[in-house]
Chains A and B, each alone.
Chain A
Amino acid sequence: MTGQVLLDTLRIHPFTEGFTQEQLERLAGLAGQVRFQKNAIIFHEGDESSFFYLLLSGSVVLEVTAPGRSLRIQTLGKGEELGWSSLLAPTPGKQFQARALEPVEALVFDGARLRRACDEECSFGYAMMRSLLKVVASRLQATRIQLLDVYSPVKSPAGA
């Protein structure tokens, strides 16, 4: 991907909404490109992966596996973000497994380098954290709705 194509790709990704040209260029300077085959494990539960991804195509599912029980809890696709916790301080390890449900194309960023860039240039850091907060807020909201279990059977007062 050439520099201009990379910039254009970043510009249309929802994560960079509100970024200035300078901030886009700074982010582009940290970006790499990655592809995953269908069914590839992007990271395992417990991995100390520090990568943050902006998904460009395909879809990724987050899975949790426990004895006798495996659940797919969220699907992410084009225009979404994967591995947002890499933008925060180092964490003990990934809490979910991420699997490519179909071939995936993404931009990849090293979390430590991104954090350093945020510390060095506050306006870039603010733009990054503002976008990150939007991601986290929408994930939190979706999780709250999921917790409501809105489709569970509710008996009417008349017991119909």
Chain B
Amino acid sequence: MEAIELEQDQTSQVDTFQPVPAVVSQVRKDTPDTFTLTLEPEGAEPLPSFLPGQFSMLYVFGVGELPISISGDPQEKGKLLYTVRSVGKTTHALVSRKVGDSVGVRGPFGKPWPLKAARGKDVLVVAGGIGLAPLRPVIYYILRHRADYGRLVILYGARSPRDLLYQKQLDSWSRLPDVQVLTTVDYGGLSWHGHVGVVTTLFRYVRLQPLHSVAMVCGPEIMMRYVAWELEARGLPQGDLYVSMERNMKCGVGFCGHCQFGPYFICKDGPIFTYREMRPWLGKYEL
């Protein structure tokens, strides 16, 4: 299997404005409102490779175009996976695609997670809700390059047990050596025997080496702020804490300005930022 090069600019492989036609080869229901679509090339033109954390613009013909993070294994060539939550017209149209339907793909776009900077360190992955999807490629990558990293800690929170993504994978990862997986839900029924409480309550079960760790956080913005405060309080430097931001991305390359956030364009300068970069701008109502 060909190794991916973390420094390679994947965006330069593609025509940024021309969607590549792809065909839906699988639709998998993850939760009642979240689905993972597998796309494969429609013609001879291969789908581009990507780096963990990058996103594509997916075009549902006749409906609209959406930025969706790639949630598959970056080293598995020839197909791209997207985990999509149906919350509006375009996402609903996207998750309603059937096997064999066409979808346009632009990208990949954006800065990836800092897997190069994290080499030799413990990696703390903190995800909330569908935020686990953009982090799954990080987990795949680290598990394929296990010797390059220290402990892998995955903390994952969701609203309820039925909203937890990739449950079988989480279970299998938890059995690997040097991997700690803790999941929690905000509310659980009596049949749920796992942890109940917000994701920040999991930190007390983690032995964090703050000066020898990199944290990668993705989830609702409010959740990321609370996670960042918790990690700061435990001594993790702001520059070693990375967050994935989401805004109304349209062009994907910083031309249109729809996703401007303070001095940044989320699509081009992000979506992955250090918490140090984002801290002054998070929580501002006007942004």
Hey, which bits of chain A sit against chain B, CB under 8 A?
14, 59, 61-63, 70-75, 77-80, 101, 141-142, 145-146, 148-160
Shortest beta-carbon distance from B196 to chain A in Å:
5
Closest residue of chain A to B197 (Cβ to Cβ) is: A74
What would 6 A/B residue contacts be, using CB atoms closer than 8 Å? A61-B188, A149-B159, A151-B158, A155-B88, A158-B88, A159-B88
Contacts of B192 in A (CB 8 A): 72
**Shortest 4 CB-CB contacts between residues of A and residues of B:** A72-B188, A151-B159, A151-B129, A150-B220
Contact A73–B187 (Cβ < 8 Å):
yes
Contact A150–B219 (Cβ < 8 Å):
yes
**B204 CB–A CB distance under 8 Å:** yes
* A61 CA / B195 CA spacing, docked (Å): 8
Contact B248–A145 (Cβ < 8 Å):
no
Instruction: Select which of A61, A70, A148 is within 8 A of B196 by beta carbon.
Output: A61
* A154 CA / B159 CA spacing, docked (Å): 14
**B222 CB–A CB distance under 8 Å:** yes
In the complex with contacts A157-B248, A160-B90, A75-B198 CB distance below 8 A: no
Instruction: Select which of B88, B163, B189, B194 is within 8 A of A70 by beta carbon.
Output: B189
* A158 CA / B200 CA spacing, docked (Å): 31
Contact A71–B222 (Cβ < 8 Å):
no
Hey, which bits of chain B sit against chain A, CB under 8 A?
33, 64, 66, 85, 87-91, 128-129, 157-159, 163, 184, 186-190, 192-198, 200-201, 204-205, 219-220, 222-223, 226, 248
Contact B200–A145 (Cβ < 8 Å):
yes
Instruction: Select which of A79, A101, A154 is within 8 A of B193 by beta carbon.
Output: A101
Contact B198–A142 (Cβ < 8 Å):
yes
Instruction: Select which of A63, A72, A79, A160 is within 8 A of B91 by beta carbon.
Output: A160
In the complex with contacts A156-B248, A158-B248, A151-B163 CB distance below 8 A: yes
Contact A155–B248 (Cβ < 8 Å):
no
In the complex with contacts A75-B195, A80-B204, A153-B186 CB distance below 8 A: no
* A70 CA / B187 CA spacing, docked (Å): 10
* A19 CA / B220 CA spacing, docked (Å): 38
In the complex with contacts A77-B205, A146-B198, A72-B190 CB distance below 8 A: yes
9 new A-B pairs (CB below 8 Å) besides A75-B194, A158-B248? A70-B190, A71-B189, A72-B189, A73-B187, A77-B195, A150-B220, A151-B157, A151-B220, A159-B89
Closest residue of chain A to B185 (Cβ to Cβ) is: A72
* A57 CA / B65 CA spacing, docked (Å): 51
Shortest beta-carbon distance from B242 to chain A in Å:
19
* A101 CA / B197 CA spacing, docked (Å): 14
Contact B190–A142 (Cβ < 8 Å):
no
* A80 CA / B219 CA spacing, docked (Å): 26
Contacts of B195 in A (CB 8 A): 59, 75, 77
Contact A145–B226 (Cβ < 8 Å):
yes
Contact B197–A155 (Cβ < 8 Å):
no
Contacts of A148 in B (CB 8 A): 222
* A6 CA / B60 CA spacing, docked (Å): 64
Instruction: Select which of A73, A101, A149, A153 is within 8 A of B33 by beta carbon.
Output: A153
Shortest beta-carbon distance from A82 to chain B in Å:
14
The residue in B87, B129, B184, B200 that gathers the most chain A C-beta atoms within 10 A of its C-beta is B87
Contact B190–A154 (Cβ < 8 Å):
no
Contacts of B157 in A (CB 8 A): 151
Contacts of B91 in A (CB 8 A): 160
* A157 CA / B87 CA spacing, docked (Å): 12
Closest residue of chain B to A153 (Cβ to Cβ) is: B87
Closest residue of chain B to A102 (Cβ to Cβ) is: B193
Contact A160–B193 (Cβ < 8 Å):
no
Contacts of B193 in A (CB 8 A): 101
Contact A160–B196 (Cβ < 8 Å):
no
Contacts of A141 in B (CB 8 A): 200
